[in-house]
Amino acid sequence: MDATHDPKRRSFVASANGHADFPVQNLPLGVFSPKGGEARGGVAIGDSILDLGAVAHLLPGDACSAAEAAAGDALNAFFALGAGPRRALRAALSDLLAEGSAQEAALRPNLYDAADCTLHLPARIGDYTDFFAGIHHATNAGKQFRPDNPLLPNYKYVPVAYHGRASSVRVSGTAVRRPKGQRKPAKETVPSYGPSRNLDHEMEFGIWISTGNAQGEPIPIGRAAEHIAGFCLLNDWSARDIQGWEAQPLGPFLAKNFATSISPWVITPEALEPFRIAQPPRPEGDPKPLDYLWDEQDQARGALDLAVEVLLQTKQGGPFRLSLSNTSHLYWTFAQMVAHHSCNGCNLQPGDLFGSGTISSPTEDGFGALLEITLGGRKPVILPNGEERRFLEDGDTVIFRARAQRDGFVPIGFGECRGTILPAS
Amino acid sequence: MDATHDPKRRSFVASANGHADFPVQNLPLGVFSPKGGEARGGVAIGDSILDLGAVAHLLPGDACSAAEAAAGDALNAFFALGAGPRRALRAALSDLLAEGSAQEAALRPNLYDAADCTLHLPARIGDYTDFFAGIHHATNAGKQFRPDNPLLPNYKYVPVAYHGRASSVRVSGTAVRRPKGQRKPAKETVPSYGPSRNLDHEMEFGIWISTGNAQGEPIPIGRAAEHIAGFCLLNDWSARDIQGWEAQPLGPFLAKNFATSISPWVITPEALEPFRIAQPPRPEGDPKPLDYLWDEQDQARGALDLAVEVLLQTKQGGPFRLSLSNTSHLYWTFAQMVAHHSCNGCNLQPGDLFGSGTISSPTEDGFGALLEITLGGRKPVILPNGEERRFLEDGDTVIFRARAQRDGFVPIGFGECRGTILPAS
């Protein structure tokens, strides 16, 4: 922990002080366009966004290089610099934006009202990989097929993952068109092509890759955390009826690749430092991870204590909370995901994106997908205004939020990951 | 068919006439570096490569624009132009390179000896998708798990596919390091991490995407073929022991994503026009494809008659033929793959790459993977020099070739897709 985490530090940007998401202790990075302007890198501070390229000349050494690398329309070059320049940028920005900053006058013209800006994907995503590290979700989903044996034998050894579609990842706020596809309900003998009837959300954490590795050279678990540039919220929209029919034997494909939504701000590992916790001990009888996934320090500090919330806003009302869970329910750490993904020599690249898998809690109030909440659509959820949902309807908006809170530190948030369902075309 | 297919047409580049792969009737596109030079787009003609950017000014209208779009270090911009400019470029190059061309003197300085050039990936691959359209392979692979019921119920309705890894696709000639990973042979009770013992090849066809589609807007089957820029050979290297342990329930991941090899030249739909055939009729009792996958013209002309060959060169000898199959054994057309991939609104982009799935013939002499040839390693194949193989050994080189041949036309080839196995690190 350092001066950037000091709870007494306040910003001259008044809206930052007490801001639910973006106090001066957060300083997340993203890509935005001011009204009528080009896309560029920025940092969120309260209700404003600071233009990084425009203030780079005010920053020293590594922080200046980092701001310059973040000045374009994607943060890949910034991610490629790794942890050192990212930390230098954070330290310098924290000083610059603090109350009493000597540079307040120089910064003011480069602060934009976030409400007037458009936010973009923060990076060009090379490859997108979706993990399955939410053990309660894996158990709940597995129960629908194998009630007595929901987790497959590999689950507690392998951080299971599959490749997703990079081209269809979209920034929060982008509407999501209900996909069409092949569905074959059990009561029908042949499939038909049409709009998905069982559209769902999946509440996931997103992990941005910073520096990569050369093909053929695994990243050791002890260095894996250094390869993470930051985190976001991720909605792995899922068409359950398409998934149920298509996914054997090679996994989900069209059930997922029509759209994935992410929150626009990259919350850095440094901002989350106060909210690090030990990986919760595995239940009695679970195997110890294999050596290439085991690191004492990662076990001691590799998990995060973050509340993650799913809200549903319908055309009639809301937003209503559908679930509240915590990132500590993930069975694998983020470093274990990096080490596993590269353990065969697969080359990761700056700007790759991982999804964590759906973060469900052990109890119903924290289930991260309607599949789990409604038992695959068999038991509707009743919303506070009396509406029922088995799956998502056209016009529904799903909103994810996350919040980090710990005594002695200023809480920070992630901003929203939001998407509204449009009718099938 | 047009003048570019005229079997009487010869090139002033003498090595092109009678060339096994690249006569003037082929004219495939790729990216190469002359010795000491930058990467740039080129066209293969016999044993030479013509620098496209350098000769663009000799070309008229659309052909000139196409050559300029192909002048850089990746063909994505050229692919994005679509079929019209690609056809114009082909027609112009065919004239320019023909015997008696008025431009011979202007072209000569821009022809490089292919043996002195380095070939690169032809495009920046946005997303890589691997289909499973080789029905004999799907049957053979399925038999190992379900001897009585090898094909799952969805196979004849869904062009099954999964997302692969774009970052680890490499051009022919790049060595492939044996991956490490988690393996759990049936006789062991817990998995261990180490070098794959069951490394395999998969003989596939690669499909390059030309123009894409907007997210949410499916490509209709009647227009799907227009979205294909060309074809290559693709080796979907597979670690069977890693695959067997990791792949449930979400499909193959580390068993495949350590490396995929492709041949460097993009063989255009126009070059393959003479080798188009009707999609072979489905066996009696198989369902007709759903409407979104059904197009009369695609059925009449959507398949290809191309011989595809797998050779193995060991440290002791070879190359020995392992199999000879034909692209007509694919159960789905390439247009059906495009239509299916986008039928949910998933957005394809110029430079996306599809694999066809392993192209096995119904008989053992055309099995496209060692998994099939050796019954999962239980029955070794004996090579002509007496060596045995169950799976690939360090130092083995796998070579794919393809050849299109039809009475009345000049045969064309694809060049090689080749990779040598390096020991695990």
- Tens of pLDDT along B9-60? 999 999 999 999 999 999 999 999 999 999 999 999 999 999 999 999 999 9
CA dist B379 to A231, B183, B200, B323, B421, Å?
Answer: 49, 21, 14, 16, 22
Which residues, including other chains, have CB under 8 Å from residue A197's CB and lie 6 or more apart? A183, A241, A391
Which position has the token pair 């801001």?
Answer: A19
Which pLDDT value is given to residue A206?
A: 98
Least Cα distance to B31 among B90, B117, B91, B110 occurs for: B117
**A202 annotated ligand-binding residue:** yes
Residues B63 and B92: beta-carbon distance below 8 Å = yes
Contacts of B170 in chain A (CB under 8 A): 215
Least Cα distance to A230 among A271, A170, A274 occurs for: A271
CA dist A190 to A194, B31, B154, Å?
Answer: 13, 46, 9
**A236 annotated ligand-binding residue:** yes
Task: Copy the structure tokens of residue B234.
Answer: 């693709």
**A68 annotated ligand-binding residue:** no
Which pLDDT value is given to residue B144?
A: 86
Which pLDDT value is given to residue B146?
A: 84
CA dist B153 to A143, A246, B248, B290, Å?
Answer: 22, 10, 18, 15
| Residue of A19, A136, A137, A341 marked active site | A137
Interatomic CA distance for residues A64 and A52, integer angstroms? 9
Q: Do strands A176-177 and A417-422 pair parallel, antiparallel, or not at all (unpaired)?
A: parallel
What dihedral angle (degrees, nearest 10) is formed by the CA atoms of A20, A24, A27, A32?
70
- Tens of pLDDT along B194-239? 999 999 999 999 999 999 999 999 999 999 999 999 999 999 999 9
A180 and B218 within 8 Å at the Cβ level: the answer is yes
CA dist B9 to B42, B87, B112, Å?
Answer: 21, 17, 22
Which pLDDT value is given to residue A254?
A: 98
Contacts of B247 in chain A (CB under 8 A): 249, 251
| Residue of B137, B227, B329, B340 marked active site | B137
Interatomic CA distance for residues A228 and B328, integer angstroms? 45
Q: Which amino acid is at B259?
A: A
Task: Copy the structure tokens of residue A211.
Answer: 């520096």
Q: How far is A327 from chain B (nearest CA, A)?
A: 22
B378: which DSSP letter?
A: T
Which residues, including other chains, have CB under 8 Å from residue B36's CB and lie 6 or more apart? none
- Put simply, whether B189 touches A (Cβ < 8 Å) is no
Number of A–B residue contacts, CB under 8 Å? 192
- Tens of pLDDT along B165-176? 999 999 999 999
Average of per-residue pLDDT values in chain B: 97
- Tens of pLDDT along A74-115? 999 999 999 999 999 999 999 999 999 999 999 999 999 999
A149-178 residues touching B, CB cutoff 8 A:
152, 154, 157-158, 160-168, 170, 177
Cβ-based neighbour number of residue B403 at 10 Å = 15
A253 and B161 within 8 Å at the Cβ level: the answer is yes
Contacts of B291 in chain A (CB under 8 A): 193
B18-37 residues touching A, CB cutoff 8 A:
none
A163 and B257 within 8 Å at the Cβ level: the answer is yes
Q: Residue ranges of chain A with pLDDT lower than 50?
A: none
- Tens of pLDDT along B328-348? 999 999 999 999 999 999 999
**A260 annotated ligand-binding residue:** yes
Which pLDDT value is given to residue A400?
A: 98
**A420 annotated ligand-binding residue:** no
Q: Which residue(s) pair with B355 in the sheet?
A: B130, B206
- Put simply, whether A294 touches B (Cβ < 8 Å) is no
B344 and A179 within 8 Å at the Cβ level: the answer is yes
A168 and B215 within 8 Å at the Cβ level: the answer is yes
Q: How far is B98 from chain A (nearest CA, A)?
A: 41
The listed CATH number (3.90.850.10, 1.10.1040.10, 3.30.70.260, 3.40.50.1440) that belongs to domain A128-422: 3.90.850.10
Residues in chain B: 425
Q: What is the largest CA-CA distance in chain A?
A: 73
Task: Copy the structure tokens of residue B173.
Answer: 């000639």
- Tens of pLDDT along B76-86? 999 999 999 99
Rounded to two decimals, the ipTM of the complex is 0.97
A345 and B179 within 8 Å at the Cβ level: the answer is yes
B289: preceding bond cis by omega (within 30 degrees): no
- Put simply, whether B208 touches A (Cβ < 8 Å) is no
Nearest CA in chain B to A192: B290
- Put simply, whether A220 touches B (Cβ < 8 Å) is no
Assign B395 a pLDDT band (cuts: 50, 70, 90).
Answer: very high
Contacts of A345 in chain B (CB under 8 A): 177, 179-180, 258-259, 425
Query: Helices in B257-416 by DSSP H: which ranges?
Result: 296-301, 334-342, 370-373
Is B149 a residue whose pLDDT tops 90? no
Average of per-residue pLDDT values in chain A: 97
Which pLDDT value is given to residue A144?
A: 86
Query: Helices in A200-310 by DSSP H: which ranges?
Result: 221-224, 240-246, 296-301
Cβ-based neighbour number of residue B362 at 10 Å = 12
Domain map (residue ranges) of chain B: 3-120, 128-422
Q: How far is B37 from chain A (nearest CA, A)?
A: 24
Residue % of chain B over a pLDDT of 90: 98
Annotated binding site of B for Ca(2+): 130, 202, 204, 236
B63-67, long-range: CB within 8 Å, 24+ apart, which pairs? B63/B88, B63/B89, B63/B91, B63/B92, B63/B93, B67/B41
**A358 annotated ligand-binding residue:** yes
CATH fold group of domain A3-120: SH3 type barrels. (2.30.30)
- Tens of pLDDT along A404-420? 999 999 999 999 999 99
Contacts of B340 in chain A (CB under 8 A): 254
B19 is an active site residue? no
Q: How far is A209 from chain B (nearest CA, A)?
A: 13
A179 and B345 within 8 Å at the Cβ level: the answer is yes
Which pLDDT value is given to residue B145?
A: 79
Query: Helices in A56-130 by DSSP H: which ranges?
Result: 61-69, 76-81, 83-97, 104-107
Contacts of B343 in chain A (CB under 8 A): 180-181, 193, 254
A180 and B257 within 8 Å at the Cβ level: the answer is no
A45-74 residues touching B, CB cutoff 8 A:
none
Least Cα distance to A320 among A372, A376, A385 occurs for: A385
